[in-house]
Amino acid sequence: MTNNNITKNTLKRTGGLLLAAAMSISMVFGAGQALADTDYPTKPVRILVPFGPGGLADITMRLAGEKLSKILGQQFIVENHPGAGGVAAANELLKADPDGHTLVVMSNGTTIATSLFKKLSYDPQKQFAPISTLAWFDLGLFVNPDSSYDTLQSLVAKGKANPDSLNIATVSPGSTQNLAAEFFLSVTGIKANIIPYRTSPDTLAALLRGDVDLVIESPTAYSGAIKGKQVRVLAITGAKRNPSLPDVPTVKEAGVDGYEVSGWNALYTRVGVPDDVIAKLNAAITEVANMSDIQEKFFDLGIVVGALTPSEMADRFEADRKKWSAVIESAGIEKR
Amino acid sequence: MDTFSNLALGFQAAMSPESLMFCLIGVTLGTFVGVLPGIGALATISMCLPLTFYLEPMPALVMLAGIFYGAQYGSSTASILLNLPGSAPAAITCLDGYPMAKQGRAGVALFITTIASFLGGSFSILLMIGFAPALARFAISFSSADYFAIMVLALTAASTLSIGSVTKGMAMVALGLLLGLVGTDISSGAARYTFGMIEVSDGVSLVALAMGLFGVSEILTNIMRGDVVVVDAKSITMRSLMPTRKDMKRFWPAAGRGSIIGAIVGMLPGTGPTIATFMSYSAEKRLAKDPSIFGKGAIEGIASPEAANNSSVQAAFIPTLTLGIPGDAIMAVMLGGMLIHGITPGPQLILENPVLFWGVIASFWIGNVFLLILNIPLIGIWVRLLTIPYHMLYPAMLFFICIGVYSVHNSTFDVLLTLIFGVLGFALSRYGYSPAPLLLGFVLGPLLEEHFRRALVLSRGDLSVFIERPISLIFLILTSVVLLMSVGWFRTLVGRLSPKRLFRRPTNE
Amino acid sequence: MQSIRQNITALAVGSIIVIIGLAAIWIAQDYQLGTLTRMGPGFFPIVIGILVVVFGGAAVLGDINAEKPTADFKFRPVIAICAGMLAWTLLIDSYGILPSTFALIGISSLARSPFRPWSTLALCVGLCVAGYLVFVVGLGMPLTLLGR
C-alpha cells in the first residue's frame, strides 16, 4: 500500500515554490483511490512545531515532512507555534478534530515542562497519543582547548576542590541543556555557577572568550568549532558514543556513573485518533527513518534518526518525565 | 595574493549559470517578502529550506542568502511610501522617508535608499573579503560587560529619535524598556508581566509592535486629519524620481558613516540590524549642523540607516561563516541550511572549501548588483502606489498588516496586539510622544538586562568590571561625552576651549 | 474652553504612562530582587518602573501648557478600524481568508465617509485573490480561502 503511494507520488513535486500546484495534483490522485484499510490522509496534514522557525526541531521536521508528503500523498505542512512549554502548539492541536490531520511535535523538553510548570494547561500523557520518535540527539561537554581540563575527571576534580569556582554556560533556564547541567552537578556533587545564555552560539562565544569553563550543548550547534579544534569535547551525554564523534567517550565511560541524557523529537496527535491512522503514520515515519538520504542529512546535523512504536514512545516519555522531575526537585528549581 | 586568486575562483563559481539563476530567484523573492509588512526573511528562508534539499550546496546557499539581504532592500519601500515598515529595522526609515513621500519626493527617497543599501552591503562584503577571520575574532572578544556598555550608548539615541520634547522621548524609551521585560526572564526563567498569557511568554512580538506603532497608528492619524498624500500619476516623471546633485552631496558622507556603524554592530553576535539603524540615525542627527531638519525629510536620515541596515546584515555573515557563530535567528537558519548540505561553517571552511566560501561571498556582491538593477526600475512602479485613492489604500494596508503579522507566529493574538499598539501609538503620537524611542527601548531593554546581570555573575558581583575592561570603558566614556554634549553649559565650555569648535561641529569623519 | 479640554486629554495621556510605571513597580514586588552577584528577575522591573514614572511625570509637567493637536479627534475611525481588525482575527482561523477579508475591508471602510460599496467590494475580491495567491500558493502559509 505504501509502495503504491510512493509510485503515485513520484509524479508530484517537480520542485519550485508553488506548493499549492503540487497539493492539488496529489489531491486529485488521492481522491480517486479507495484504500484497503484507511484512506487517511484525505487532506493536507499540519505538523505543529512548538518552536520558532530555524531550530533543529524545525529543520528536521521540515525535512521529514517533505518525505512524509511523498509517502502518504498529502502535503505535510510545518506550522510554527512557539511558546513556553509547548502550550501554544498543544492548544492548537486540541482545537483540531481528532482525525490525524493535525500532528504536534513533542520533545524531551515536553517531559521537562510537565514538571517545571506549576500548571501546564495540557496533559501530554492523557490528551496526546504517541506516534513515533523521529530524531535522537545527545549533548556534549565542551571546554576551551587552552584550558587545563584534558579529561572529564580533571574537570570534576577541579570543581570539587574549589566550590563555586567553575562557570558552566547553557542556554535558557529549563532547557534540556540547562537541566543536564543541574543533573551533572547533582550527580558529581560539585558546586558551580550555571549561567544561562540566550542562544547556543552565545555559549560558544563565551567559551571561546574564556568567560566560562564548561558548556553543555548539542554537538550540532558546535560542529564548526569541533572541526576547527576550537573546542575540546570531554564527553558525550548519550548512552552510546555519538557516531560523528567516535573518539569521544560517553560520560559514563569518562568515569561519571549514573549520568545519561539524550534528547528526542517525536510526533504526537490527539487522543481519539483511530488506531489504524496512527499505525499508518508510524509506518510512514519508520520508512522515513530508514531512508538513506534522510539518515545522511541527519548525520550531517549530528542527529541519529530512529523510530519507536507508539507504546515504546509512551514508556520513553514516562521514563524521561520521572528523571527530569527528580532533577528539578533535587536542584531546587522553582516551578513556574 | 592568495586572497585575490581565491576570490577570482569564487567569482568563477558564483558566475555559473546555475548560481546566477538561484541568486536572482533569491534576491527577487527577498525583495518581495521584504516589501510585505510582517512576513520576513526568517519565515521565507525556513520555508524554502526543504526545497533546497535537492540543490547543490552552492546554489542553495546563494539563494537562501539572497532572500535574506534582498529582504533588507525591500523593507524600506513601504516605510517610505506608507509609513509601514516591512521589518523592524526599517521603522527608522519612516521618520524621514515618509515625510519625503508627503513632499512628493518618494521616488527620490526610494532611489537614495536603494543606492545606500548597495553601498552598505558592498562595504561589508569588502570587509569580509579582506579581514573576515580577524574581524570575527575581534567580534567575539566582546564580553557581557562590553555589550552592556554598547547598549547604554545606544540608549542615548533615544533623545534624538524624538520629534519635539526630549522628556517625552525619554518617557517613551522607558516605556519601551518596560515592554521589553514582558515574557520569560532569560536569566532566571521567571515569567514577568505575562498575566498568565502564554502568547507573550516569549515576549511581545517586535513585528506587532512596529506594525502597530507605525502602520496602524499612521492610518488613524491620516483618516482623522483627512489630508493624505495622493500623487497625480502625470506628475511621475523620470526626472522627479532622481535625486538632485545637492541631495547626492548630502548622501555620500551619511551613507559612508551608516555603512561603518552597520558593519560594527552587525558583526557582533546578538545585536542585530535594528540597533544598527537606530544608532546610525542618532549619529547623523548629532553630527548634523542643523538637527531640526530631521523628521522632515532629511536625506541623511534615510541614507545612513539604510546603509547601516544592509551593512549590518552582510557583516552578520562574518562570525557565521568564519566561526560558526550565527548572530541571530536568521543566521542560525542559514547555518542549519549549510549543515544540511554537509558544509560546516567554522574556521575550517575557508581552508577546506575555499571555492564555496569565496563563491558565496562573491555571490553576495553579485546579488547586490542584481538588487540594484532590479530595484531602480521598480521605483517607478512603487511610487504609483501613491496614486491609489486613500479610501482603497488604507483597507488594503490593514489587510497586509493583519496577514503579515499573523504569518510570523500563526497567531491571531499578535494581530490583536498590533491593533492595541496601533491605537496606543496613535493616542501617544497625537500628544507629542514619538513611537521610535519606544521601539528602541523595546529592542535594547532585554539586551541591557541580560548583559548587565551576566557581567555581574561572571565578576561575582564586582561592579568595577564595567570600567576595567577596555572596550566597556571606551563605550562608557563615549556615552558620557554624548550625554554631556547635550548639556548646554558643557557645550559652551568645549566650544570656548577649542577654537575650531571641533566637538560642536564635527564636519566630516 | 476647547483648549482646556484638549489640555486635559494631553495630561491624561501622560498620566497613563505614569500609572503604567506605578503598576509595573507594584507588580514587580512579587519578583525576587536577588543579590548583586545573582540578580533576580525583580531588579530591572523596579528600576525601569521608576524611570517610567520619573520621565512620564516630567513629560506631564511639561504638558501643562500643551498645544492643541492639529486635528480633531473622531470616534468613528477608531471604532471602525478596531472592529474591522477584531473581526479579521476572529474569522481567519476557522473560516479562512474570504470571510475575514470581507469583514476587515467592509468594516474598516466605514472609517471614512462616504462609504463606497462598489469600490469596497472590488477591493475585497482583489485582495482575496491576491492574498490567496501570494500567501497561500506562493509562500505556503497554512491558511485556507474558505473554512478549515
Instruction: Give the pLDDT confidence of B163-187 residue by residue, as tens digits.
Output: 778 889 999 999 999 999 999 898 8
pLDDT of residue A204: 93
B426 pLDDT exceeds 90? yes
The share of chain B scoring above pLDDT 70, in percent, equals 93
Q: Would you say residue C105 lies in a domain?
A: yes
Q: The CATH number of A2-137+262-329 is which of 3.40.50.11540, 3.50.50.60, 3.40.50.300, 3.40.190.150?
A: 3.40.190.150
Looking at residue B488, what is its pLDDT? 64
Which chain C residues in 56-95 lie under 8 Å from chain B, judged by CB atoms? Answer: 56, 58-59, 62-63, 66, 69-74, 77-78, 81-82, 84-86, 88-90, 92-93
Give the number of other CB atoms < 10 A from CB of residue A249.
Answer: 16
Tell me: the pLDDT tens digits for B124-137? Answer: 999 999 898 899 98
Nearest to A149 by CA among A222, A210, A99, A94: A210
> Per the structure block, which three cell numbers stand in for A329?
526537585
- Whole-angstrom Cα Rg for chain C: 23
Give residue A11's pLDDT band: very low, low, confident or very high (50, 70, 90). Answer: very low
| Count: domains in chain C | 2
C56 lies in the same domain as C82:
no
Q: Would residue C70 count as lying in a domain?
A: no
pLDDT at B381: 87
The reply to whether C86 and C112 lie within a common domain is yes
Measured between CA atoms, the residue of chain B closest to residue C19 is B175
Mutation site for B-interface testing, chosen from A146, A172, A291, A298 by largest number of B Cβ within 10 Å: A172
* C-alpha distance from B398 to closest chain C C-alpha (Å): 8
What is the C-alpha separation between B6 and B12, in angstroms, rounded?
A: 10
- Domain identity same for C8 and C52: yes
Query: Quick check: B346 and A55 CB within 8 A?
Result: no
Torsions phi, psi of C124, nearest 5? -55, -50
Residue B268 clears pLDDT 80, i.e. is over it: yes
- What confidence tier does B48 reach under pLDDT thresholds 50, 70, 90? confident
Residue B20: pLDDT band (50, 70, 90) is very high
B434 has a pLDDT exceeding 80: yes
What's phi and psi for A80, nearest 5 deg? Answer: -90, 125
Tell me, yes or no, if A274 comes closer than 8 A to chain B by beta carbon: no
> Same domain, yes or no, for C51 and C17?
yes
Query: CATH top-level class for A140-259?
Result: alpha beta
What's residue B490's pLDDT? 66
Within this chain, do residues C83 and C108 fall inside the same structural domain, yes or no? Answer: yes
Residue B27 pLDDT: 95
What are the residue ranges spanned by the domains of chain A?
A: 2-137+262-329, 140-259
Q: Which residue among C62, C94, C112 closes a domain?
A: C62
**Single-letter residue type at A41:** P
**Predicted pLDDT at B5:** 87
pLDDT (mean) for A159-167: 92
Q: Do C142 and A19 touch (CB under 8 A)?
A: no
For chains A and B, what is the number of CB pairs under 8 angstroms?
159
Q: Mean of the per-residue pLDDT values for chain B?
A: 88
Within chain C, strands assigned E span: none
Query: Which chain C residues contact residue A46 at CB under 8 A?
Result: 142
Cell of C123: 477591493
Q: What is the pLDDT of residue A7?
A: 33
- Give the whole-angstrom CA distance, residue A171 versus residue C68: 51
What CA–CA distances, in Å, run from B115 to B121, B190, B252, B366? 10, 45, 10, 15
Instruction: Report ipTM (2 d.p.).
Output: 0.93
Query: Within this chain, do residues C45 and C88 fall inside the same structural domain, yes or no?
Result: no
pLDDT at A97 over 70: yes
Domain boundary among C62, C89, C110: C62
Between chains, do B171 and C59 touch, taking CB under 8 Å as contact? yes
Residues B155-170: b if buried by 16+ CB within 10 A, e if exposed:
bbbbbbbbbebbbbbb
Query: Would you state the torsion angle of the CA atoms of residues B427, B431, B436, B442, taken in this order, to the nearest 10 degrees?
Result: -60
3-state SS of A166-207? CEEEEECCCCHHHHHHHHHHHHHCCCCEEEEECCHHHHHHHH
Q: Do C138 and A18 touch (CB under 8 A)?
A: yes
Q: Neighbouring chains of B at 3+ CB pairs within 8 Å?
A: A, C
pLDDT the model gives residue A289: 92
Q: Are residues C101 and C56 in the same domain?
A: no
Q: What is the mean pLDDT of residues A99-106?
A: 93
| Yes or no, beta carbons of C140 and A77 under 8 Å apart | yes
Q: Which residues of B are less than 8 Å from C17 in CB distance? A: 171, 175, 433
CA distance B152 to chain A (A): 19
B455: closest chain A residue by CA? A211
Residue pLDDT, tens place only, B349-408: 888 888 999 999 999 999 999 999 999 889 888 888 888 888 889 999 999 999 989 988
**From A24, which residue of chain C is nearest by alpha-carbon distance?**
C137
Mutate to test the interface with B, among A167, A195, A217 (most CBs of B within 10 A): A195
User: Which residue in the set A88, A195, A228 is minimally distant from B346, CB to CB?
Assistant: A228
Residue B173 neighbours by CB under 8 Å, 6+ apart: B155, B158, B437, B438, B440, B441, C55
Letter string b/e over residues A2-18, b meaning 16 or more CB atoms within 10 A of that residue's CB: eeebeebbeebbeeebe
**Mean pLDDT, all residues of chain C:** 87
- Kindly report the nearest CA distance between residue C106 and chain A, in angstroms: 28
B contacts of A55 (beta carbons < 8 Å): 332, 336
Q: In chain B, which residues have their Cβ closer than 8 Å to the Cβ of C29?
A: none
User: Any chain C CB within 8 A of the CB of A21?
Assistant: yes
Cβ–Cβ under 8 Å, residues B399 and C127: yes
If one counts every other C-beta atom within 10 angstroms of the C-beta of residue B122, the result is 20
A2-137+262-329 and A140-259 share one CATH topology? yes
At residue C61, does pLDDT exceed 90? no
Which residue range is the domain that position C16 belongs to?
Answer: 2-62
Position C14 in a domain: yes
What pLDDT does residue B163 have? 74
pLDDT of residue A13: 31
Chain B CB within 8 Å of residue A54 CB = yes
Q: Does A33 score more than 60 pLDDT?
A: no
Residue B133: all three cell numbers together: 577571520
Helical H runs in chain A? Answer: 2-10, 19-31, 56-72, 87-95, 108-116, 124-127, 152-161, 176-188, 200-209, 223-227, 275-289, 292-300, 310-331
Between CA C20 and CA B201 the distance in angstroms is 20
Q: For the CA atoms of chain B, what is the radius of gyration?
A: 22
Cα–Cα distance for residue pair A217/B373, rounded to 1 Å = 44
Percent of chain C residues past pLDDT 90, beyond the cut: 53
C79 and C25 share one domain = no
- C-alpha angle A261-A262-A266 in degrees, rounded to nearest 5: 145
Grid cell 550555571 in the structure block, residue: A194
Strand order in the sheet with A45-49: A76-80, A45-49, A102-107, A262-270, A128-138, A304-305
Q: Count how many pairs of residues, chain B against chain C, have C-beta atoms within 8 Å.
A: 193
Contacts with B, A 78-137, CB within 8 Å? 79-85, 87-88, 91-92, 121
Helix (H), strand (E) at residue B191: strand B191-192
* Residue A232 β-bridge partners: A143
Model confidence at A315: pLDDT above 90: yes
Any idea what the Cα angle at residue B104 is, between residues C71 and C80, rounded to 5°?
Answer: 40
Mean pLDDT of A267-282: 93
pLDDT at A197 over 50: yes
- Strand A262-270 to A102-107 pairing: antiparallel
Does residue C64 or residue B189 have the better pLDDT?
B189
